[in-house]
Amino acid sequence: MDIESIERIKESALQKIDGAKTIEELDQIRVAYIGKKGEITLVLQSISCLRPEERPKIGALINKVKRQIEAALTQKSISSIKEEEFDETVPEIPVRLGRKHPINQVKEEIVGIFSQMGFGIEQGPEIEQTEYNFDLLNIPPDHPARDMHDTFYISDNLLLRTHTSPVQIRVMKKRKPPIRIIVPGRVYRRDADVSHSPMFHQVEGLLVDKNIRFSDLKGVLACFLHQMFGEDVPVRFRPSYFPFTEPSAEIDIGCILCQYKGCRVCKNTGWLEILGAGMVDPNVLRNVGFDPEEWTGFAFGLGIERIAMLKFGISDIRAFFANDIRFLSQF
């Protein structure tokens, strides 16, 4: 075996590869040259018959030729497959695209509407200090309103926030009015039935400026609800109580799920509560160092799941968190 005979094997292999017309022919060439009993394989095996000083040079050449033949075979089979075997009528394998979770879709829509009205976005921690979640929001330790929220406590002064309202305090402590923000985020309560989930999402709103009145609050929320649900949907403001707002209101919209007739989700009232709101209590303004004679404001907090249930006609809040792909892929 010498260099010339190896070169000859190479030339003949490359020529045959070049002339091959089908994948089967290429396979035969592969077997004939670099298969278990192929010419190149046999040459490589017979290297032990050479003189020791010749072996490295010839060995390296055979390996190089083997790689060249492999490369030529691969190259040729790619172009052959393109020409012969690509059948454009075979249906493609469908690619399953991920989708945004319905809660995120609704959150983005809510944020979009308030952004258009000039509200900026803020965030706050989900593990919150009792002081921010309650005390500075005018809910002292012995206040009965603490019972309104069934709280997950971490320690005496740390908890999973029960609402997004503590972010009002955080923002007002670091900024002077005018303030116009919304705060989307997760909140937690010991609560579970068809319309209550232990983890759910709220969007807080806060506007503090000079001469802000209840009519401004009504205008902003009515505008939001009509953009969200259409001009025809009934909206009602009900007097209510929150320690951090005075006066306070709860806002209901007609239960679209039952066309206002009454169902298990609206507890047969035809209305579904989706928002709490009111004028920022002067005590809260004082707690963050604002003079209530100079500044007034309104705040609101809405439940994203409730809005998503109405928008998509879903009668059980737990469906959002069951991670059932058949449910999620519908949105």
**Which residue's CB comes closest to ligand FA5?**
303
Contact 166, 133 (CB under 8 A): yes
Tell the smallest beta-carbon distance from residue 194 to ligand FA5 (Å).
10
Contact residues toward ligand FA5 (CB under 6 A) are: 163, 165, 189, 191, 196-197, 200, 202, 204, 242, 245, 273-278, 299-303, 305-306, 317
Choice between 124 and 278, CB closer to ligand FA5: 278
Tell the smallest beta-carbon distance from residue 174 to ligand FA5 (Å).
19
Choice between 245 and 296, CB closer to ligand FA5: 245
Phi then psi for 214, rounded to 5 degrees? -60, -30
Tell the smallest beta-carbon distance from residue 286 to ligand FA5 (Å).
17
Choice between 17 and 275, CB closer to ligand FA5: 275
Phi then psi for 297, rounded to 5 degrees? -165, 170
Strand order in the sheet with 296-303: 120-121, 179-188, 199-209, 296-303, 271-280, 245-254, 235-242
Choice between 196 and 267, CB closer to ligand FA5: 196
Tell the smallest beta-carbon distance from residue 325 to ligand FA5 (Å).
23
Choice between 33 and 290, CB closer to ligand FA5: 290
- Considering Cα of 288, then 298, then 177, then 133, what sign does the dihedral take? positive
Phi then psi for 182, rounded to 5 degrees? -125, 155
Tell the smallest beta-carbon distance from residue 131 to ligand FA5 (Å).
16
